[in-house]
Structure 1
């Protein structure tokens, strides 16, 4: 396959549109390699670097020197490459609802490729091609600076409908094109580029699917968010004066606020840039965000959350150069006040997906706080459930202590039913180990083993399972608590992992020492109540857990 990619942007390889075109080409290459076919031959033309003069309209290429232009510049070589190509990709930004001037010159200068005779193939007239163009395919890739591509490409589509036929080309028109150069938004733009890459694969194998087309037509951000960021990006205030770069940066961050996450009360976030001495206040309200600069006498009201950070550090976090949770662990910045905002940063500042008011995806917020529910996760995806880990043990400890025979049967029944209960959850290895361990303890009792030995041993087994995972890459509790803290992404968060490692160790120690007093209780008249008695300390430990998982991250955040 011979591919000619014509880059019509005056910015050349720095073009935002060219990033899309490169992703599309990567998709074609990947498809060819997967099919073990010969790698496509790709030629790239940067129109800005070519010598292509405007058409004179002299029609010499029709009458005096058929097929040859009277202007001797780079255009003849361009025509030869177009004829060589099986696929021609036109890549350009939208300029005044049309093509950049130099690219329009190139298209005008294709006149030698047509014959002068009138064609009856089109209703409004036209000219037949001088060459056999059958089998050649065309792709048009373009970005614009509006929030949407819809309604802004009428001139472009009219032109290519005429050149290629109404359904004779594939088009990728992307609004919000300037965002592809913003490193802080790389998560969202890279997601879009992955769909462009997929479109390239599908194009190489046939045609772009409806699903991929829908994703390509989806806006990167809702209109209000994009336009607020775009307005802030110019770095000038309403008076037209240039603004401080730290103010521009904070204004763009405030523009990402997702008002759908408003918790019923306003949140006051102070950004204190310690290296430059500037503090800005972002008020997150029901109708949107409001940015305030600190007056000389300071803010009159208190804050909900205050982030003390060098501007350089926060920029690095926002651009993904450094993970926010790692920066916090290294005390590169600190947090005062309510830490809940940090733990659920994705909810408030998650990068948005397409339509206005649409759902949010986990964007730069993962890098900033490393916490919060996985806003971009699939809500229907099965999740782990610690209750399924605990049920077999609880039934065994309570029922078997009351009646060894019937309690063991009840425990085995629960273990057998456990796969049914797990049907809508994601099972972990600990769920399975627990079922096997409880079944083994129950069978031991049914075969005549002493309950004064088996029941204390079951507590020890349970504690050993917890304690052992403290030395694993992911401690036991993290497999379950991740559901409330950004899903799988939480497992890459050192603060989350350290918190869970400590809690897992605490629970492991508790159940490793529980057999000590259980042995004594089993030899008294209170033996049948051992399950109830042994639930007192776990209840207190549960209270400690709820407190610690909030206190410890705050403790680290305060530096």
Structure 2
């Protein structure tokens, strides 16, 4: 199985819910086979005329349609494909009109004769299609699988009964709800597993089939969510007073109990433009929405209905919106940082894109940054008095740390630059150690300052390689996390410059015996870093909102 043709019949093309299923299925295929040739056709972009029933493709020009449109190439792709993935959402209990138009235009593949095949009368085909595999992937808005019956029967007729497997997803609209990503990620995992199995055995295992038949969420939850999102004149008129409450009800459906272990808190939401407050009670791995404000909230989010709706739908990035002053926080900022995990838009560190590692490892986080300074400590102490201890030993320690981490851990920018710097320093020492014995300490200070400062300009802020392990989720793209670490990294770079300048002054004025006092600055900087990394994000969260937030 090498040539794979995807026939996407959705008017949304690659942006639709059906396409999301196809993408995950293809991911599974690719994991088991690297030599696949995949052609992904978005039918709505193609020029396909409707069949007129003239039968010229049978009588006047056998196998050739009267229309000179895109179907000529599409039929060629269809005939030559080893696997055809029929991807169409369910539109009024059947395939989409563009998919139907495509199937009608495949008539030239058949001959006009009527023959009996397997107790059924049909038309013989012009090409050998017996080895072709077909898979149906579809989504439906209703919560029951029987709605696919017409579509299944229709595709079986079109393919001569050769539909190998199907992925038929009820409640399909939930696939595009960002807040539910974590809650329904198990289903997309099952779709990927189906791809792995099909490329290996041309079928799905029973366990996978059973998973694919399960509801994405309980039917009662789905019906409530679906009805809340349908905007009719009557609903807009009668539910205006419950607008904020209904938005939070949708948010509540994205709650992930397993991600709320040990949390006992009250989260209050105030919509300033609606003059409405409601609150969630999160306790014992459950979440209950209550009307009205709380008298004892753990954390409170103050914003407008429009802003929070955009954040909930994924149209606005939550942290960036906070940076822009579109909402502010009162109370427990740590609880706010966990909302993406508790309410399902993030998988958390346990399923992170980063490698699965023990967060308490000495080779990660702030402990690892401390270890990365060991070569510098040796060099600062010995570089002007002992060539081996001040130059070559730091290089060996740097190389050893990289070697230890290389197999199981991420090697940070700082660790790479340490190895490069001490390698260069070792080469310099072989030609002019006298230079290093005179200015080695100052050189080290300015070098480490450059390494830290340049990381902000050309890489990721150096401190972020370590501080990201202090949080429950990936924060590499979080604007608050980025800004905090940029400030801290530049602060450390300036401190190292200051130490270098101070060392020059102490040397020139004969006060070198006081140089150990410079190390006190590092202790102060460490304390400041710990304080700033916690307080600065809270300062942003509690900052003043833009005036439009409070306008009604």
CA drift of 1:420 comes to 0.9
Q: Specify every segment of 5 or more residues in structure 1 that has no aligned partner in the other structure, as ranges.
A: 53-66, 69-79, 352-359, 363-372
Task: State the Cα distance separating 1:343 from its structure 2 match.
Answer: 2.5
> SS of the counterpart of 1:234?
helix
Q: Distance in 1 between matches of 2:252 and 2:19?
A: 31
Change (3 A) 1:469 1:193: same
Q: Name the TM-score, length of structure 1 as normaliser.
A: 0.65
Q: How many residues align?
A: 484
* Aligned CA distance change for structure 1 residues 270 and 165 (closer, same or farther; 3 Å): same
Query: Partners of 1:400 and 1:6 in 2: how far apart?
Result: 66
* Alpha-carbon distance, 1:511 to partner: 1.6
Query: 1:444, 1:454 within 8 Å by CA — same for their partners in 2?
Result: no
Corresponding residue number in structure 2 for 1:314: 308
The one of 461, 469, 476 equivalent to 2:447 is 461
Deviations 1:45-87 (A, max 9, x none): 9xxx9999xxxxxxxxxxxxxx99xxxxxxxxxxx99999648
Structure-1 separation of matches of 2:343 and 2:148 = 31
For residues 25 and 301 of structure 2, the distance between their equivalents in structure 1, rounded to whole angstroms, comes to 42
Equivalent position of 1:475 in the other structure: 461
Name the CA shift for 1:4/1:192 in 2 (closer, same or farther; >3 Å). Answer: same
How far is the alpha carbon of 1:256 from its aligned partner? 1.2
In structure 2, stretches of 5+ residues that fail to align are: 60-70, 230-234, 358-362, 544-552
Aligned residue number for residue 360 of structure 2: none
How big is each residue's C-alpha offset from its partner over 1:220-279, in whole Å with a ceiling of 9 and x where there is no partner?
A: 99855786354333239xxxx975332222112112122222242312111111111111
2:289 maps to 291
Q: Write out aligned runs for 1:33-52 (5 A).
A: none
Once residues 555 and 342 of structure 1 are traced to their aligned partners in structure 2, the CA distance between those partners, rounded to angstroms, is 13
Counterparts in 2 of 1:114 and 1:16: CA distance versus 1, 3 Å: farther
Alpha-carbon distance in structure 2 between the residues aligned to 1:490 and 1:22: 24
Bigger Cα displacement from structure 2, 312-321 vs 467-476: 467-476
CA distance in 2, matches of 1:522, 1:223: 73
Matched, 1:141 2:134: no
**Larger displacement relative to structure 2 (241-250 or 417-426):** 241-250
Single out whichever of 377-386 and 334-343 deviates more from structure 2. Answer: 377-386
* 1:377 to 2:353 alignment: yes
- Counterpart of 2:546 in structure 1 is none
Which of these residues, 537, 540, 546, is aligned with residue 556 of structure 1? 540
SS at match of 2:136: strand
1:263-319 alpha-carbon deviations (Å, 9 max, x no partner)? 42312111111111111111222332111111xxx43x4111110010101111222
Q: Deviations over 1:152-210 (max 9, x none)?
A: 9789768867875776445332243122454666899999999999999x99xxx7567
State the partner residue of 1:507.
492
* Residue matched to 1:177: 172
From the superposition, tell whether residues 221 and 494 of structure 1 become closer, same or farther in structure 2 (CA, over 3 Å): farther
Alignment equivalent of 2:372, drawn from 381, 389, 393: 389
Q: Which residue of 1 aligns with 2:333?
A: 339
1:110-509 equivalences under 5 Å are 121=118, 125-127=119-121, 129-131=123-125, 134-135=128-129, 137=132, 138-144=134-140, 168-180=163-175, 182=177, 208=199, 228-235=221-228, 244-294=242-292, 298-299=293-294, 301-351=295-345, 361=347, 373=349, 375-380=351-356, 385-387=368-370, 389-398=372-381, 405-423=388-406, 424-441=408-425, 444=429, 447-449=433-435, 451=437, 453-472=439-458, 474-484=460-470, 490-509=475-494
Provide, for residues 417-474 of structure 1, a one-character-per-residue CA deviation record: whole Å limited to 9, x for no partner: 2331231333344323222333555664993456463223322322233234455563
Aligned 8 A contact 1:6 1:44 in 2: no
Decide whether the 8 Å contact of 2:271 with 2:302 is kept in 1.
yes
Separation of aligned partners in 2, 1:509 and 1:479: 19
Contact map agreement 1:328 1:334 (CA 8 A) in 2:
yes
| Contact 2:266-2:282 at 8 Å conserved across structures | yes
Please give the alpha-carbon distance, in whole angstroms, between the structure 2 residues aligned to 1:383 and 1:212: 43
Cα distance in 2 for residues equivalent to 1:158 and 1:92: 14
Assess if the C-alpha contact under 8 Å between 2:24 and 2:188 holds in 1: no
Relative to structure 1, the CA distance from residue 181 to residue 163 in structure 2 (aligned partners, 3 Å threshold; closer, same or farther) is same
Q: Is the 8 A contact 1:325 1:495 kept in 2?
A: yes
TM-score, normalisation: structure 2: 0.66
What's the offset of the Cα at 1:496? 1.9
The 2-side partners of 1:40 and 1:305 are apart by: 48
Q: Given that residues 24 and 198 in structure 1 are in contact (C-alpha distance below 8 angstroms), is that contact kept between their aligned partners in structure 2?
A: no
Alpha-carbon displacement from aligned partner over 1:95-142 (angstroms, at most 9, x marks no partner)? 99x868999x999xx9x99998875x4xxx544545557317544232
Displacement of 1:6: 9.7
Please report how far the alpha carbon of residue 329 of structure 1 lies from its aligned counterpart in structure 2 after TM superposition. 1.7
The offset of 1:13, in angstroms, is 3.9
Q: Deviations over 1:3-38 (max 9, x none)?
A: 99696xxxx84799975269859999xx9xx99999
